[in-house]
């Protein structure tokens, strides 16, 4: 029996497909003859693709922060046949100092960026295990490996997603289920224009928070170098590899930022080697 990655026509499940990278991935898979179940909040956003590709595209309305709705949509999707590739793509960012964020803003960030992909991943593990394998693509970010001012809740969600995914990838490797964290850099998907902002406070106006906030408020996607169509192509190609990487770093800005962050952390760790050993019991 062919493994999911060997099938000529594969079934994708993509969240947050109404725009940005999710839409590009959906269109890329359809162009190559695959089937896609795309979840959106605004079904009209994919009407052109539905007209072009007919019953190879199924559009589901889904708020990923509602666990009961996730269960319903996943169950209905599986009734139409096995799902070979799951893409947890839905997401957004709140910009502002941690002190400025409301409880509701923090909670919603964690629900969208971490809890939702955890629940969706769990929902597909058993069917993938029983069908002999599958692929789960987690759209993370360079923000899953680094930290910048104004993005504390966003980083909490993405760093959490990275830890969850690394752990689960080791739990299911025996079942031919592969998980990959995609870490894009700045990509022209409308992400900047869709940022949410806290209510600014005077205390943070002139420090790193205020400077970063001002940069983002006055910027547009033209400052970003990532081509979402090329990202979609790279992600698609990865799903055809028999042994995909756990992390897929896309963008020179991502590579440079993550390389610098890991180097800095390793350097700091090495200075603590003797201290780390000093807390053991003395025989």
Query: Which residues contact residue 72 at a Cβ distance below 8 angstroms, ignoring those fewer than 6 apart?
Result: none
- Which of 53, 154, 204, 236 is labelled catalytic? 154
- Which of 141, 158, 204, 236 is labelled catalytic? 158
| Residue 170 phi, psi dihedral angles, 5° rounding | -80, -25
7 is catalytic: no
Handedness of CA 47, 52, 57, 58 (dihedral sign): positive
140 is catalytic: yes
- Region at 281 (left for phi over 0; alpha for psi -120 to 50; beta for the rest): beta
Is 225:185 a contact under the CB 8 Å cutoff? Answer: yes
- Region at 54 (left for phi over 0; alpha for psi -120 to 50; beta for the rest): left
Alpha helix ranges (H) inside 113-207: 116-131, 152-171
Q: Report the alpha-carbon distance of residue 16 to residue 20 in Å, rounded.
A: 8
- Which of 140, 141, 152, 153 is labelled catalytic? 140
Which residues belong to the active site? 140, 154, 158
């Amino acid at each position: 029996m062919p493994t999911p990655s060997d099938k000529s026509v594969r079934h994708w499940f993509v969240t947050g497909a109404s725009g940005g990278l999710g839409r590009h991935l959906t269109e890329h898979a359809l162009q190559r003859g695959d089937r896609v179940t795309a979840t959106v909040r605004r079904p009209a956003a994919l009407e052109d693709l539905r007209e072009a590709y007919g019953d190879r595209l199924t559009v589901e309305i889904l708020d990923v922060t509602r666990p009961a709705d996730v269960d319903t949509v996943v169950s209905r999707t599986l009734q139409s046949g096995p799902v070979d590739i799951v893409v947890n793509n839905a997401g957004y960012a709140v910009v502002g100092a941690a002190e400025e964020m409301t409880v509701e803003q923090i909670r919603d960030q964690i629900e969208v960026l971490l809890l939702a992909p955890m629940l969706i991943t769990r929902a597909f593990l058993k069917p993938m295990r029983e069908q002999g394998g599958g692929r789960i693509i987690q759209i993370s970010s360079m923000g899953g490996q680094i930290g910048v001012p104004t993005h504390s809740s966003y980083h909490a969600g993405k760093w959490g997603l990275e830890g969850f995914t690394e752990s689960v990838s080791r739990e299911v490797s025996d079942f031919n289920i592969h998980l990959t964290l995609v870490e894009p850099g700045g990509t022209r998907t409308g992400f900047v224009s869709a940022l949410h902002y806290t209510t600014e406070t005077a205390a943070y106006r002139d420090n790193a928070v205020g400077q970063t906030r001002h940069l983002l408020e006055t910027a547009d996607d033209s400052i970003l170098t990532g081509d979402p169509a090329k990202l979609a192509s790279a992600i698609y190609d990865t799903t055809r590899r028999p042994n995909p990487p756990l992390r897929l770093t896309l963008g020179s800005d991502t590579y440079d930022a993550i390389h610098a962050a890991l180097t800095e952390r390793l350097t700091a760790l090495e200075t603590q080697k003797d201290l780390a050993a000093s807390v053991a019991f003395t025989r």
